[in-house]
Amino acid sequence: MKMIAALAIMAACLPLPALAQTNAARPKQFSSYEPYGEIEKKYYARGPWKDVTVRETEKPCDSAGNKCLLIYPANLGANGFRHPIVAYGNGTNANPIEAAYFLKHLASWGFFVVASEDKQTLPGITILDSVKFLIAANSDPSSIFLNKLDAGQIGAVGYSQGAFGVISAMIKSPGLIKTVIAIELPAKSWCKPACPDPDVRHLTQGSIFFVTGSDDPIAPPTQSPRLAGEQSIEAYYNAVPDNLIKVKGTLTGASHNDISGQPDCARATASACVIGVYGYLGYPAAWLMYQLQGDGAFVQETGEMFKRPPQPASRNYDYVASNIH
C-alpha cells in the first residue's frame, strides 16, 4: 500500500541544511554521551545475549512482497527461553540495516527483531505482516524458530515515518502488539495535505513511549499554543488517552537521524547524524524489558528517567512525562 505522494517528503534520510548547520554548531559537551542512572547504564550496555545473528529472509515476509531483516540472539532458545518479538518500522525510503547497531543492541537483550524492508511503512500493514510471519514460523515444525519465540509478548519500534507505522500497526492489531516506541515521530505538518492515519486518539490498548531529539525540527519536543493539531511530541503525548500507559522524553542534542549511528556518525548511512545512536540504547531497551520482560524505570516523577545529572550541561533527557504510578 503506497502513501500519498507528498508523504515522501517526510525526511527520514534526506540531507536538510538546517540539520547540517546544527551539526556544525554542536557544543563540545554533547560530542559524546554518558548514561546517567543505574537502569539506563544497565541497558545502555550490551545485553547478556552477546552473539547476534543478522540475516535476510529468503522469501517475502509481508503482503507487499518485501523481504524481512531478522536480528536475533545466535543462541536462540537457550535453556528453553522464549524470545519476545519486536517489529521495526523504517523511516521513509530507508532500509532496516541502516539502524543495525540499534537493532542488534535490542537483540542482545533477548528480543527477536523483525523488520520488513518496506520503504513506506506509515499504514502499518507490512509491520503487522512481519509479526504474523514470525508467529507462523514459531509454530511451523520445519522452521528453525519453532517454539523459540514468545508470541504473547510483542512490541514494535518505529523511526520517523515508521513511528507512524508502528502506531498504525498497534491500532490494527487488536491486542497483538502490546507496546510501541515512536522515535522521532514527525509533526503532522510534514504530511501534505494530511496524514491519513494513524490518530493516536484512536489507541484503545497497549502502551507507548515517545522519544525525540532536542534538535529535531521534524519531531520537535514542544509546540507553541498557536499551533493546531499534533505538531510536537508533547501534543502527541497529550492526545493519547490517559487510560493508556504513556511516557515521553527528549534526548538532549540529538537530531532526526542519530538512530542511524553505527554507533557514532562516522559510519552512519543517513545524513544529518549529529551525536550517534548512544542515547537511544538505554531507555528504549529498558522500556521493552519493562513492558515485555518485566523491568524498567518510568514511574511518574520518581522514576530514574525524571532524575537530573549533577551538571545541567550533561542532562541526557528533558521534557520527560509519564502517567505511570
Other beta carbons within 10 Å of 59: 8
The pLDDT value recorded for residue 8 is 33
The pLDDT value recorded for residue 29 is 36
Q: 310 to each of 45, 281, 307, 316, how far by Cα in Å?
A: 22, 21, 10, 11
DSSP output for 277-307: SGGGTHHHHHHHIIIIIS-----TTTSGGG-
The pLDDT value recorded for residue 27 is 36
Of 157, 125, 148, 2, give the one whose Cα is nearest residue 61: 125
Domains of the chain: 36-219+228-322 (3.40.50.1820)
The pLDDT value recorded for residue 227 is 84
Angle at alpha carbon of residue 162, lines to 266 and 3, rounded to 5°: 120
Q: pTM of the predicted model, to two decimals?
A: 0.84
The pLDDT value recorded for residue 298 is 54
Is residue 151 within 8 A of residue 135, CB to CB? The reply is: yes
The pLDDT value recorded for residue 23 is 35
DSSP H or E segment with residue 138: helix 125-138
The pLDDT value recorded for residue 316 is 72
Of 186, 259, 197, 198, give the one whose Cα is nearest residue 223: 186
The pLDDT value recorded for residue 30 is 40
pLDDT in tens, the chain (325 residues): 233 222 233 333 322 223 333 333 333 334 467 888 888 898 999 999 999 999 999 999 999 999 999 999 999 999 899 999 999 999 999 999 999 999 999 999 999 999 999 999 999 999 999 999 999 999 999 999 999 999 999 999 999 999 999 999 999 998 999 999 999 999 998 876 666 668 899 899 999 999 999 999 999 999 988 888 888 999 999 999 999 999 999 998 899 999 999 999 888 876 778 889 999 999 999 999 888 775 555 555 555 666 665 555 445 767 777 776 5
